[in-house]
Amino acid sequence: MQNKHTYDAIIIGSGISGGWAAKELCEHGLKTLVLERGRDVKHLIDYPTYNTPPGNCPTAVISPANNAKKIH
């Protein structure tokens, strides 16, 4: 016998928009399925700059306005 599942909503992709949509739908009581094909992301391992202050990240972009505040 094959099990059948029904959902109120199916989200394709768990990026920032998909994750937020799933959160909102679940909070409003909808039975929600999220489908993701990306690799498993490991907390801290895959985000090595997580605890680095914004200005110290090697890829940080410092705007002229922020730079001026540091100089004065």
Reported as type and span, the H/E element at residue 23 is: helix 16-27
Residue 72 has pLDDT above 60, yes or no: no
Distance between CA 49 and CA 60 in Å, rounded? 11
Nearest to 20 by CA among 32, 4, 8, 38: 32
The predicted-structure confidence for 12-70, as pLDDT tens digits, reads as follows 998 889 999 999 999 999 999 999 988 887 877 888 777 888 777 766 666 655 555 55
Distance between CA 28 and CA 20 in Å, rounded? 12
Query: Are 18 and 12 contacting, i.e. CB atoms less than 8 angstroms apart?
Result: yes
